[in-house]
Amino acid sequence: MSNIDADSDRIEKAQTELEMGDLLVAYLNQLGVEYVFGVPGGAIEPLYNALARSERQGGVRAVVARHETGAAFMADGYARNTGKLGVCCSIRLLLVNAFRREEYQLEEAANGAQAIEVCQRRMPDLILMDAVMPEMDGFDACKAIRETPHGADIPVLMITGLEDENSIVRAFSSGATDYISKPINFSVMKQRVARLIKANKAERHVKQLAYHDPLTSLPNRANLMQHLHLVVEQAAVENSKFAIMFLDLDRFKMINDTMGHDVGDLLLKAVADRIRNCVRDQDFIARLGGDEFTLVLENITGPETAAKVAEKICHSLNQPFVFMRKKMFVTTSIGISIFPDNGGDVTDLIKHADSAMFKAKEKRNDYCFYQTGMEAEIAGRLEMERELRQAIERDELVLFYQPKIDFKTGALTGAEALVRWEHPEEGVIAPNVFIPLAEESGLWSCASQLKIQFETCLCVCPTL
């Protein structure tokens, strides 16, 4: 290891401000730096004390500027005019050296605008920000970061030499989690940073459990409702359109019952992955529970955009799923409502998307847009489901046997069992009306009873 590298390691290990100032000056002397440009006072006062001692000994010298912008300008001009290294020393340099040995990954920004760019590329676990910076100060930068995606919950620790009450109030009103005054005690700083990161991770874990589905990691119903209220407000202000899509898997219950819940869970995860691949990164996907999913497509031009997404999802889910070397097939029915065409609030939009989904269930593997009057049709289906439950209890489902005749011999070769619903008021109801409803609602267990009746018929009719 070179002497310069050794000195660099010693600087990173320094625990007191005095040691850090002396070691940093020694390091700069090793690099051949002649001048350090900066603003004395506050947290970097020990460095300037060390620079004063160095200057008396003929070493690196300090050049004082009135503010950091001027210091950076002077350092840059010195380097360009002389071809020698000019260093602009600020609180940022000291913080980098203080945290480099703590196993943190560091991103640096010279001003508030650069800090925002760093957060837009990759949101850190914590932000240390000086209140006074060139171009954009820490207060405005903090406020802007809070408005970026995932920036609302990141702890921001404001560093300030401004001790008046107005500055402290401004720091918190701009979104700062906490603040620390200059001069900085680096031992206290390290402990506060570690505690803030730990507390933030714990809070995010709790939010993950409260607002996300544990199986698919998608947002849950509570998360969806919060998101929809914000989307409705924003769309109303911007006069834009968005779509809500309700997805319900067709015959998932049959797969779950026959293959087991473990296979059913694997299928739900695979379905969630395929849905993700069919939408944009910014589109919101939630799992409401069971086999129901919801999508929110923001900033769409019209219903045709939602139709293309629905077609893509139907096609994707219609492809076979393979688990345990077995192919499984599942389709989906999708109901769609559009803001503001089908409602101006969250309640109406959700209700209308749900109604459209029930209509799509009639065809399966299809999508349907909400239309006025669908609620009455849905209410009729719910009433029929209620009556069907009563019909099973009252033995209103009966079998009719249609004989099978061999035309060549005229012999009776068998019989076809046909189920009919003898409704006390409506008369005989055809199977194509009530059987799909019975399958969707899980009422088709009566089929086993009908089978027993049919087998009894076979026993008393030995010619069949």
Asked if 359 and 230 sit in the same domain, the reply is yes
Asked if 309 and 388 sit in the same domain, the reply is no
What pLDDT is stored for residue 266 in this prediction? 92
Q: Which of 89, 125, 128, 86 is nearest to 109 (CA)?
A: 128
Asked if 205 and 111 sit in the same domain, the reply is yes
Crossing angle for the helix pair 186-211 and 221-238, to the nearest 10 degrees: 100
Last residue of a domain, one of 355, 372, 389: 372
Asked if 338 and 225 sit in the same domain, the reply is yes
Residue 35 lies in a domain: yes
Residue 228 lies in a domain: yes
Domain extent, residue 311, equals: 221-372
Residue 174 lies in a domain: yes
Last residue of a domain, one of 144, 176, 210: 210
Structural domain count of the chain: 4
Low-confidence ranges of the chain (pLDDT < 50): 1-2, 4, 11-15, 37, 39, 42-43, 64-76, 78-79, 83-88, 447-448, 450-464
Q: Cα separation of 4 and 104, whole Å?
A: 22
Instruction: Confirm if 61 and 54 have CB atoms less than 8 A apart.
Output: yes
Asked if 231 and 190 sit in the same domain, the reply is no
Residue 68 lies in a domain: yes
Query: Token pair of 445, please?
Result: 């267990």
**Model confidence pLDDT, tens digit, residues 211-221:** 999 999 999 99
Asked if 365 and 225 sit in the same domain, the reply is yes
What pLDDT is stored for residue 227 in this prediction? 95
Asked if 166 and 294 sit in the same domain, the reply is no
**Model confidence pLDDT, tens digit, residues 321-366:** 988 788 889 999 999 999 999 999 999 999 999 999 988 988 889 9
Last residue of a domain, one of 67, 98, 129: 98
Residue listed under structure tokens 């920036």: 151
Query: Token pair of 113, please?
Result: 């605008």
Asked if 20 and 39 sit in the same domain, the reply is yes
Residue 216 lies in a domain: no
Asked if 54 and 116 sit in the same domain, the reply is no
Look up the CATH number of the domain holding residue 345: 3.30.70.270
95-117 burial, b if ≥16 CB within 10 A, otherwise e? bebbbeeeebeeeebbbbebbbe
